[in-house]
Amino acid sequence: IWQLQSKFFLSVLKGNVVNIQTGHWVGKQSGLGAGSDSFYEYLLKSYILFGEKEDLEMFNDAYRNIQNHLRRGREACNEGEGDPPLYVNVNMFTGQLMNTWIDSLQAFFPGLQVLIGDVEDAICLHAFYYAIWKRYGALPERYNWQLQAPDVPFYPLRPELVESTYLLYQATKNPFYLHVGMDILQSLEKYTKAKCGYATLHHVVEKTKEDRMESFFLSETCKYLYLLFDEENPLHKSGNKYMFTTEGHIVSVDERFRNSLWQDILPGEEDGAGKIRPHEFKAVNFSSNCNRVPDERRYLLPLKSNYMRQIDRMVGLI
């Protein structure tokens, strides 16, 4: 996939659908949602798990291009003038805007930004999706940010917003994210609970239901909500020894996975003691990193109130 990226545009963007027999791009949309989300997620998580420098280099390159060509809005999340940050869908060959909608799968991205330390940008994007949730009590599958209305109005109990909420709480310990989790939980109880399980919302405005509950509701949505409130869970006392796959499975980040058997044949860099130095994990952060979140902000709103209101206006809440 990396070798098939666009050679026609300086951003070197990737599309969302490829013909696996010819290697030609069938879907020319470059974005962060359906068809693309897991690709970016696994570039970073492969590096975390296995320590291969090439995976990190590919992710850093991809993240740089995402920031340069998909991101719109002001440079800083919590300061400055202009619109709140937003990631749009563009043509992979030209970089031109393809449409004015985003999909609910994109709500995974703040969680990925937390993993690379770009917490400030994650806070802004998460607030945007949470504002949409507050308006409808769910996330429409596609939301048109220009029309301030759903393009595809169903909600199949997806976990991405809950996952990002959980990871942001783990990074900041700001009680605001517990409030977000409670808000999501109450919405699920109010609008999606059925006689036997929880139902997909056919229409987020009308709150009509479908006779369908996807398996990811149990394996991810419920799991991240449970972990959000379970402070004493062994996962939270492990010292970051575990990682979640894109489907919510728990994987051990074991040093044995990062010791390549071929290092005896192809030696890596050695330190003074003759030990192999792991390649430094240094993501290309756009605006900030974890260390930018001071202690005094842990018990305030993660965004200044004027920026919160700006996002609420952006989605038609006020």
Find tokens 């400055």 and name the residue: 80
Of 246, 248, 298, residue with least CA distance to 123: 298
The string of DSSP letters for 291-302 reads: GGS-GGGGGS-S
Instruction: Please identify which of the residues 120, 141, 163, 220 carries the catalytic annotation.
Output: 141
The string of DSSP letters for 18-38 reads: E-TTT--EEE-EESSSTTTHH
For residues 151 and 140, the answer to whether their CB atoms sit within 8 Å is yes
The partner residues of 150 in beta bridges, in order of sequence, read 143
Number of H helices, E strands in the chain: 9, 15
Distance CA 301, CA 184 (A): 18
Query: Dihedral through CA 169, CA 172, CA 174, CA 178, nearest 10?
Result: 0
Does residue 141 carry a catalytic annotation?
yes
Residue 246 in marked binding region: yes
Annotated binding residues for Ca(2+) = 246
> Mind telling me the catalytic residues?
141
